[in-house]
Amino acid sequence: MDTSEGLAAAPNASTQENGSAYGSSVAHSPLFKLPRELRDHIYEYAFCRPRYHKITKHRGIPEPALLSTCKIIREEAVSLFYGQDRLAIVVNSYDPTAMMIWIQKRISLHRAYGVEYSSPYFLRTGPKNWANLKLYMRMHHIGQIGRMFCPPPGSSGYTDEGFFIMGLFNAVNEMQDRPWTAVGDVLDTLRPGLVNMHPDWALEQAASFE
C-alpha cells in the first residue's frame, strides 16, 4: 500500500506545513515543529510492534495508544497503521466474524479519512472447524466476504488442504445462482475429503468469538 497516496487523499488540514494548520493545543508542541516526513518516521517507529492483532467482538481491532492522542495525530498516522504490509489479523478456527469486523472498519476509515485500505493478511489459528468454514462460504455466496486463496502448487505456503478449500470456493462460485441450501448440500458431500486430511474438520460446533 502506498501510504503517500493515502495521506494525500485524506481530507485534513494537518498535511499543511504551517502553524495555522494546527489548533492552539498543539501549535507549540515540539512534535509539530518537525517536518511531516520526520513525523511519519516517528509514527512508523511507534507502530513497529506488534504486527499481529486479534480482533474481538467487543473491542474490535486493537489500536495503539498513539492514535488516540489527538485528532491531528490520528489523521496523520491512521493510514500508516492500517497499511497492508503492517496489519495481520488473527482469525480463530476459520471464524469469519473477524473479517466482517475488518470490512466494517475499512468502510468507517474510508468515510472518515477518504482513503481506500487494502485487505490485511489474515492469520488462521486454532482447530479446523467445518461449521465456521461453511459459514464463511455462505457469506461469500451472498457477497458479504471475499474468498480464500491458496498459494499455487510448488510455492511457499502451499498445502493440499488449502488447495482443497480453494476448490470448495470455486464450487460455491459456480453455484452463485443456486439457493444456499443446495450449495450447502454439495459442500457437505465434499467435506469427507477435508476430514481425511485432518480429523479436526469433523468438528461441528462453531468456535466461540470473544
pLDDT in tens, 46-102: 887 666 667 776 678 888 889 998 889 999 998 888 875 666 777 888 888 888 888
Residues 104 and 117 occupy one common structural domain: yes
Predicted pLDDT at 107: 87
Peptide linkage before 50 cis (omega within 30 of 0) = yes
Least confident span in 12-21, 110-119, 163-172, 183-192: 12-21
Predicted pLDDT at 23: 58
Residues 183 and 113 occupy one common structural domain: no
Domain end residue (candidates: 99, 126, 153) = 126
Is 68:22 a contact under the CB 8 Å cutoff? no
pLDDT digits (tens, 9 = 90+) for 108-126: 888 988 777 766 777 788 8
Please give the tally of structural domains in the chain. Answer: 2
Is 167:128 a contact under the CB 8 Å cutoff? no
Residues 151 and 115 occupy one common structural domain: no
Got the DSSP string for 10-54?
A: S--GGGS-SGGGS-TTTTT-GGGGS-HHHHHHHHHHHTSS--EEE
Q: Mark 27-64 as b/e (b = at least 16 C-beta within 10 Å).
A: eeeeebeeeeeebbeebeebbeeeeebbbeeeeebebe
Predicted pLDDT at 130: 94
Q: How confident is the model at residue 129 (pLDDT cuts 50, 70, 90)?
A: very high
Dist. CA 10–CA 79, nearest whole Å = 9
Domain that holds residue 102: 1-126
pLDDT digits (tens, 9 = 90+) for 2-32: 333 333 334 444 434 444 455 556 667 888 8
Closest by CA position to 84, among listed 109, 118, 57: 118
Residues 14 and 112 occupy one common structural domain: yes
Q: How confident is the model at residue 135 (pLDDT cuts 50, 70, 90)?
A: very high
Predicted pLDDT at 10: 40
Higher pLDDT, 4 or 139: 139
Dist. CA 75–CA 113, nearest whole Å = 7
Residues 101 and 133 occupy one common structural domain: no
Residues 3 and 100 occupy one common structural domain: yes
Domain end residue (candidates: 66, 99, 126) = 126
Residues 96 and 183 occupy one common structural domain: no
Got the DSSP string for 160-198?
A: HHHHHHHHHHHHHHHTTTS-HHHHHHHHHHHHHHHHHH-
Residues 8 and 80 occupy one common structural domain: yes
Residues 101 and 26 occupy one common structural domain: yes
Domain end residue (candidates: 84, 103, 126) = 126
Is 55:101 a contact under the CB 8 Å cutoff? yes
The cell for 200 is 479436526
Residues 25 and 119 occupy one common structural domain: yes
Closest by CA position to 5, among listed 69, 104, 80, 86: 80
Residues 106 and 145 occupy one common structural domain: no
Higher pLDDT, 205 or 194: 194
